[in-house]
Chain A
Amino acid sequence: MDFGPFLLLALMEGTVQAAVLALTAVGLALVFGVMRVVNVAHGEFFMLGAVTAWFVASHVPGPPWAAFLAALVLCPLVAGAVAAAADTLVLKRLDYDPGATIVATIGLLYILQQAALSLYGPEARPVPAPFTWPIRLPWFGWSGYKVFVVAAAAAILGLVWLMLARSRAGLVMRATQVDRDIARAFGINVDRVYAGVFALGAGLAAVAAVLIVPIQQAHYLMGHDPLLLSFAVVIIGGLGSLRGTLVAALVIGLSDGVISVFISPTLAKIVATLVVALVLVFRPQGLFGARA
């Protein structure tokens, strides 16, 4: 293939990856920013979203787009409910101690993974795309659904930003992030905010999974890669910084797309990890992080 179309394909693939990565990583960044919890189980909420999408898709009658819309609404709610329960039953009781929550979320990772294996099974199962729109370029074909993934991810990220910046719920979250004791003194129910933020983070991962699952498939081990890449994005962007997370997701997603198309996917992962290491050495607070 010639260089031009080759680069075009690389950029298109990279943009899809960046969009989904941004959604997943923003969830992780929110949880860390507000709660100071490193959620190792974040990838499993992604998986939970995908697996639930399969259940919804196989039980909602009618055209694929109806099932897809139902999944887009239901899956984040399911993942969010599981996350809120985990927060109330486990994390709260550990008093959000950083070390203990890491261990607890590792445990949560295994519980969710094994639960999916028991209830859903070991197969990778497909979820039909809401529509089929093959894009026929002169050099190669591409799935038009991927364009929708990018647009939907951008729209959802916009909504998240609006909520954080303009709504009362966002104000309460930001207040809790700045100082939870003062927030509590002002009558904010911090426990409820934490449960809500943990649920929101999980819900974002689940939405990302619903978007991606017609391209990939739902599988109980699929949470691994999104977790690693989200961590890379959050560390590069600056822990808890949403703007940094978005920029870093674009950088990682596009560079991954381009490097893996032109050279090798393994090299792309090496580069991403190397960037994380360099950022940790030279700018530990991340590109946009305010605090170390």
Chain B
Amino acid sequence: MTLSTPFQPTRRSVLGGLAAGGALALSPARFASAQSAAPIRLGFQLHRTGIGAAYGRWYERTTQAALKVLNEAGGINGRPVEVIFEDDGTDPRRGAEVVEKLATQAGCDLIFGALFSHVVVGSAPRAGELKIPYLVCSEGFHVASGTLNRWTLQPGITDVRAQVSSMAPWVTQNLGRKVTMLFPDYAFGHDHRDYFSAALKAQGGEILELVPIPPTETSFTRYFPRIPAATEVLYHVMVGPAVLSFVKELGEFYAGGGRPQIFGFIDSLEAVDTASPGLEFLEGTHFWEGHCRMRQADASEHEDFYRAAVGVDANGASVADARDVSTYAHMFSCWETLFVIRDAMVAAGYQGPADRQRLVEAVEAMTTMPLSREHVQGDKVFNGRTHQVFGHQYISRVEGGKLVRVHATAIEDSLYPDAVDYTAMAF
């Protein structure tokens, strides 16, 4: 057995060094102007497995597509960009470990991409301790509520509180005032419960019954008898692998007729074909969509560019397999967050981890984001104090098995008083 002293070059390390030097010398000229031509490494906390897996699959595809566009346009500050995907199993404990791994072992400049709110709430404190920017795509009100920290931002998607507040007036004016809510029994569902109830009451409506459903539930008929007969509007939002069962069983339950108006969050049908057998009863019901899954007649050129880049057809399914339906209403957040990162890194003159604080400040300084190739879902307003972005929300109606947009909310409808000022917090 031989022992090598720490500073003795081995044949392997010399060859490695030569290879690295060679790669550096041969790297594309367009990246050569930067002070360092090493790639910027972005960590992506991915729900590749677990209950968020259907989202994870499309978040990865969307991010890869955005990354390609970004690198073809010259990367960031003259440097190429790499994204390192790490599976968190849609599990909060694993989520915190992934943050740690991406920050310390993979040497990432920042971390983004987490969706499920329990994972975000479980991971954000670790990101704060490691002082690494953590940009989430999670919709939860937990960012703007002030429960997280200065390192956690949500610049790519509107939070649930803003979404439901902006839509409650339309629901009461067009569907009815007596509402029963079915929602998953954890943080994300509780945001719906609390803020939709409040917004509904502000509009003179009334909650007849709240029906929480455990997030791991697979059979739902047993919950439906709790829906009061006087219900005018049934509000549902469901997540996880059993969403199709949920909607199908709802249809069976109302097969005898007498169903109320139904207003659902598309989360209940993300990655599911609206034309699936058993979903015929959804005809004429309404859905919230963060981004319209079916291409609308007035789609912008940016929208078409995005659809083609990610590989999604006009029905919101993969161009390679029409049965592979995307999580279209949410996945734009990965695309937009990546371009927010680029803009912030450019504004901060980002060079390396020493500039992380300036990067957060650069995002905080952002205000308006116009509809563009970078912001394909629509124009947005960013509030640097609450670290939260606000955009348009869409209400679609199922017509002939297709989702047709019938209403778009104004950004002003979704704003609420600041609950926190992160910019006053220490790093």
A interface residues (Cβ-Cβ under 8 A, vs B): 1, 5-6, 9-10, 13, 17, 117, 121-124, 126, 128-129, 132, 134-143, 215-217, 219, 221-222, 225, 257, 260-261, 265-266
Contacts and interface: CB of A to CB of B under 8 A. Distances in A.
Given A122-B54, A123-B241, A217-B245, A138 B256 contact: yes
Given A13-B219, A141-B253, A216-B245, A122 B225 contact: no
A161 B222 CA distance: 32
B218 A225 contact: yes
Nearest to A256: B222
B320 to A, nearest CB: 13
Given A142-B253, A265-B214, 9 more contacts: A122-B56, A124-B244, A126-B244, A134-B255, A216-B245, A217-B244, A225-B218, A260-B222, A265-B217
Interface in B2-25: none
B254 interface: yes
B204 interface: no
Interface of B: 48-51, 53-54, 56-57, 214, 217-219, 221-222, 224-225, 229, 241-245, 248-249, 252-257, 271, 276-278
Contacts of B241: 123-124, 217, 219, 221-222
14 contacts: A1-B229, A121-B57, A123-B241, A124-B241, A126-B248, A135-B255, A140-B253, A140-B256, A141-B252, A142-B252, A215-B219, A217-B241, A219-B241, A265-B214
Contacts of B222: 9-10, 13, 257, 260-261, 265
A230 to B, nearest CB: 15
A122 B256 contact: no
Contacts of A221: 50-51, 241
Contact of A266 (B48, B214, B253, B276): B214
Contact of A216 (B53, B218, B256): B218
A5 B229 CA distance: 13
Contacts of A134: 252, 255
A124 B242 CA distance: 7
A134 B277 CA distance: 13
Given A122-B49, A216-B242, A9 B225 contact: yes
A128 B257 CA distance: 23
A138 B256 CA distance: 7
B256 A137 contact: yes
A138 B249 CA distance: 17
A265 B257 CA distance: 27
B49 A117 contact: yes
Contacts of A17: 219
> 6 tightest CB-CB pairs across the interface, nearest first?
A122-B53, A141-B255, A124-B241, A134-B255, A136-B256, A141-B256
A10 to B, nearest CB: 7
Contacts of B276: 126
A277 B222 CA distance: 26
Given A13-B219, A217-B241, A140 B225 contact: yes
Given A9-B225, A122-B48, A140-B225, A128 B277 contact: yes
Contacts of A215: 219, 245, 249
Given A141-B256, A217-B242, A222 B53 contact: no
A145 B308 CA distance: 41
B83 to A, nearest CB: 19
Contacts of B249: 143, 215
A87 B219 CA distance: 33
Nearest to A218: B241
B221 A13 contact: yes
A261 B224 CA distance: 9
Nearest to A128: B277
A124 B270 CA distance: 11
